[in-house]
Amino acid sequence: GTLGTAQTLTVTRQSTSFTHTITATCGSASTTIANKSTSTSISFTPPIAWASQNTTGTSVSVTYTITTYSGSTSVGSNTYTKTCAIPSSVNPSCTVSVSDATGYLNTYGGYLKGLSKFKVVVTPTTSYGSAIASYSTVANNVAYTASSFTTGVLSSSGTLTVKSTVTDRRGRSG
């Protein structure tokens, strides 16, 4: 399955008088899916927040435990472990702020080719606890790998583009 996507759990009952309780555990997170139910088909959506249980990989292990009851007496339990993918929508993002490192913008109302420099700050937003592993920014036709830096003097005129990408420990970028 995939976190955030509904799954169907199928229960094979050995007696119509038995009930069952089903729990799901993922790392330190858990939830009760059914409590003393007689249903044989149960829809369950593993929470996307469970992605925080694995901050360096793209899947998590979910352990399902079903306990069978005859009245209020437990007659046994079984455990099943399944892998759930962390969806591709779980990725970091970033914002980029560009300011004038030399003061020419305030003085002349614009950046000046051959004189002005950009001060660039990349602010990441992590996704479900996965730390940022790397930064990549192209500004003034030069590649930078820091989250904050000042470019050399601007080498061209016209519209200049600053493009940043952050990559987290899951290997996902935004």
Q: What is the pLDDT of residue 161?
A: 93
pLDDT for position 124? 98
pLDDT tens digits for 9-47?
999 988 999 999 999 999 999 999 999 999 999 999 999
CA distance 19 to 119: 64
How does DSSP classify residue 173? B
Residues in contact with 144: Cβ distance below 8 Å, sequence separation at least 6, in sequence order: 120, 135, 136, 137, 138, 151
pLDDT at 30: 98
Residues of the chain short of pLDDT 70, as ranges, are: none
Q: Which helix (H) or strand (E) holds 129?
A: none
- Claim: this prediction has a pTM higher than 0.75: yes
pLDDT at 146: 98
Q: What's the rounded Cα separation, in Å, for the pair 123 and 76? A: 52
